[in-house]
Amino acid sequence: MYHFAHFRFFLLFLTIGSLLQTVSAQTALNPDKLEELIVTSSRVEKSLLELPSAVTIINQNDIQLGRQQLGLDESLNRVPGLFSQNRYNFTQDLRISIRGFGARASFGIRGIKVFVDDIPSTLADGQSGVDDVDLGSVQRIEVIRGPSSSLYGSASGGVISLYTEDGPETPFAEANITIGGFDQQKYQFKVGGQYDRLNYLVNVSYLSMDGFRDHSEVEHTLLNSKFRYDIDDSSSLTMIINAADSPTANDAGAITAADVAADPQQAQPRNLRSNAGEEFDQQKIGFVYRKSFNENHQITLRNYYLWKNFQTFLPIGTHIPFVADDGVVEFDRFFFGGGAQYTYTGTLFGRPNRFTAGFDIDIQEDDRQRFLNNAGVKGALSFDQLEEAESYGFYFRNEFAITDTLEFTFGGRYDMLNFSVDDRFLANADQSSKLDFDEFSPTLGLAWNPLPGLHLYSNYATSFETPTFTELANPARNSNVDLGGFNNVKAQTADSFEVGIKVSLYDRLLFDVAVYTMQIDDEISNISTTGTRGVFTNADTQRKGLEASVVADIFMGLKLTAAYTYSDFEFDNVPDNTAWEGNKLPGLPDHQFYAELAYTHDSGLYVVWDILYIDKFFANNANTAINESSIVANLRAGYRGRIGKWAVSPFVGLNNMFDENYISNVRINGFGGRLFEPAPDFNVYAGLTLRHSF
């Protein structure tokens, strides 16, 4: 099966190559031009080509146009070095890894900082989530690949920054309906515009879906809104108000390879018995104030607050049916913080120079309880503790132009993190604990522009990452009940060296390659998983990789996007199990390739075809379980037309058009061989967007 998959990949690669060769011979005299890409997630605005690091920018059409909009990975697959899983299990949230960081997560996102409109979606303990983001209002995504602790603190893998739409000058109202396989229904309503000094955009959406597998239903409602008031020509205040209500997100669970072959739609029986799934409601408000005193001095101030009520039923514990375990988790979360940044743009020793300094403060309070799970019914209290995490970070960054073509960047950040738990369930003794972490993370970079359109760079960066509360949880148990307090997992640190090249030709081709090597000490590693509960320890690992991407306007209306990733990640030193030393890190393929051809006609018709190849990878630390390689192709098409002040946009999409049998999510080190969550077979969705401009 593995060799056949590679053969299919080879044939598809030849087909794409032949198509491109034919198309190149028909290039128009006046091609569309690629727009200049400006990065803002690097704390200051800078051209993508001039940054001494690997960055990918994804625009609005690639995020929204004709998309099903079930998961962020629909548009992130084009990012080299990034690997994502779990689009179809809304209980666990999308799992994203960059250069291997984040792959260990049993659920959600680890090792990567996530921001939405400059407001963090990463908690003080390092856990991130994007289940409150409606892709129907996202305008741009920026992905910094590689260690970013010098800018953002505990961020080993990189940074994902999402920016929602601004309201246009002409006010509008837009309605969208999407229906699809497995009884998907999504309704969206969006309004925006400019009124005097106030720019606004409000987006509301509702999603309901039964899912491909049994017991995988989901229902949620999202509100994403942004208001920017221009106080004067030099200052503005932006307010973000978001809310999410998800009363249903069921978890079908992982099954064995034999179960996948027998019936990929079946749910894990224990998940059914336990009524596995979650529900939550969340509200968030944030403020961003920007002020330019003149062309040399700018400041940015941020402040934000988040409230979340959460309950989940976990499929954990005994294999004997209907025996209770502490598989019901509830918490009330309050997360708040803020920060300030100052930027000076001027000269140093007569040469252009830009200096940036700032600080971030994040405070997280989780009032967490566990209860017995009596066959899907909430039972008696078995665990009660207050968890608090405080994060304080101070950073600086300087960009100095040594010559007109050579720029030197250096910076650093000092972080202090304090974790504590106050145990209030004392029947099994007082497990109250405290942990403190502090780290300085420096970075150095050189960017050289020897010829127009040619940019070379190199950088050295360090990073660190603390364990989250979930990873710090005490794995010891007493009569199927968790003990409180912390285990002995330490923070991980990494040293990274990277070189890269970025090429822009005739405003029609953007090409970049990055090569890196990393040594990670005390990497936080998953050593076993029971249900959705992971047990973690520290191990040293080594990583080497190559990332390449190309975006090309081939001729009028036809664009190619392609990305290739090579990863060589392995265990170096594993104190808990020396037999794993030299093994590949689980959950990460050696090779990944993405290609997309998008054609847009002047009439408004568009067709987009994409294909994603994922190499086989190991599903456990022992490298004895394998997830086979897969090739998944999708097609979406639509039309954008106008009738007076109305814009009409019907669209249709074909998912998994070759009906590939593949795995949507692998639960690393899953107990009893229950490792695999099968992905849907061939399915179709369609929708209609109506937009009225006033």
**Highest mean pLDDT: which range of 88-102, 408-422, 425-439:** 408-422
- Give the integer Cα–Cα distance in Å for 183 and 176: 17
Give residues with Cβ within 8 angstroms of 616, minimum separation 6: 2, 589, 626, 627, 628, 629
Above pLDDT 70, what percent of the chain? 91
The mean pLDDT of 393-402, rounded to a whole number, is: 96
Output the CA angle 156-157-158, nearest 5 degrees: 105
pLDDT in tens, 299-309: 999 999 999 99
The mean pLDDT of 41-55, rounded to a whole number, is: 89
Say which DSSP state 65 is in: T
The answer to whether residue 17 scores a pLDDT higher than 70 is no
Above pLDDT 90, what percent of the chain? 75
Give the residue with greater pLDDT, 152 vs 338: 338
The mean pLDDT of 345-358, rounded to a whole number, is: 96
Could you give the C-alpha distances from 295 to 292, 401, 494, in angstroms and in order? 7, 18, 37
The answer to whether residue 143 scores a pLDDT higher than 70 is yes
The mean pLDDT of 339-361, rounded to a whole number, is: 96
Binning pLDDT at 50, 70 and 90, where does residue 485 land? low
- Give the integer Cα–Cα distance in Å for 508 and 551: 8
- Dihedral-angle region of residue 459 (phi above 0 means left; psi in -120 to 50 means alpha; beta otherwise): beta
Provide the token pair at 446: 């050189």
When the pLDDT of each residue in the chain is averaged and rounded to a whole number, the result is: 89
pLDDT in tens, 632-666: 999 999 999 999 889 999 999 999 999 999 999 99
Give residues with Cβ within 8 angstroms of 18, minimum separation 6: none
- Give the integer Cα–Cα distance in Å for 602 and 556: 9
pLDDT number for residue 102 = 87
Strand partners, 188: 176, 205
pLDDT in tens, 145-162: 988 878 888 877 899 999
The mean pLDDT of 250-279, rounded to a whole number, is: 95
pLDDT number for residue 28 = 31
Give the ranges where 40-88 is alpha helix by DSSP (H).
60-64, 73-76
pLDDT in tens, 382-393: 999 999 999 999
For the chain, give the longest Cα–Cα distance: 79
Q: Is the pTM of this model over 0.85?
A: yes
Give residues with Cβ within 8 angstroms of 261, minimum separation 6: none
- Give the integer Cα–Cα distance in Å for 369 and 382: 8
**Closest by Cα among 129, 153, 106, 124 to 419:** 124
The answer to whether residue 116 scores a pLDDT higher than 90 is yes
Strand partners, 36: none
The mean pLDDT of 176-182, rounded to a whole number, is: 97
DSSP secondary structure, 123-184, as one string = -TTS-B--TT--GGGEEEEEEEES--HHHHSS-SSEEEEEEEPPPPSS-EEEEEEEEETTTE
- Give the integer Cα–Cα distance in Å for 126 and 524: 12
pLDDT number for residue 400 = 97
The mean pLDDT of 494-512, rounded to a whole number, is: 94
pLDDT in tens, 676-689: 999 999 999 999 99
Domains in the chain, CATH or no CATH each:
2-693 (2.40.170.20)
Contact 116, 48 (CB under 8 A): no
Give the residue with greater pLDDT, 606 vs 645: 606
pLDDT number for residue 256 = 96
The mean pLDDT of 89-100, rounded to a whole number, is: 90
Binning pLDDT at 50, 70 and 90, where does residue 480 land? low
Q: What is the dihedral of CA 310, 313, 314, 315, to 10 degrees?
A: -160
- The H or E element that residue 50 is part of is none
pLDDT number for residue 506 = 85
The answer to whether residue 10 scores a pLDDT higher than 90 is no
The answer to whether residue 317 scores a pLDDT higher than 90 is no
Contact 558, 23 (CB under 8 A): yes
Binning pLDDT at 50, 70 and 90, where does residue 483 land? low
- Give the integer Cα–Cα distance in Å for 199 and 283: 22
Binning pLDDT at 50, 70 and 90, where does residue 482 land? low
pLDDT in tens, 158-172: 999 999 999 999 999
Q: What is the dihedral of CA 690, 691, 692, 694, to 10 degrees?
A: 170
Give the residue with greater pLDDT, 109 vs 246: 246
Contact 572, 525 (CB under 8 A): no
* Weakest-pLDDT range from 32-36, 130-134, 228-232, 591-595: 32-36
pLDDT in tens, 49-94: 999 999 999 999 999 999 999 999 999 999 999 999 988 999 888 8
The answer to whether residue 588 scores a pLDDT higher than 80 is yes
Binning pLDDT at 50, 70 and 90, where does residue 576 land? confident
The mean pLDDT of 435-442, rounded to a whole number, is: 93
Contact 126, 180 (CB under 8 A): no
Provide the token pair at 51: 């940054």
The mean pLDDT of 312-318, rounded to a whole number, is: 76
pLDDT number for residue 406 = 97
- Dihedral-angle region of residue 317 (phi above 0 means left; psi in -120 to 50 means alpha; beta otherwise): left
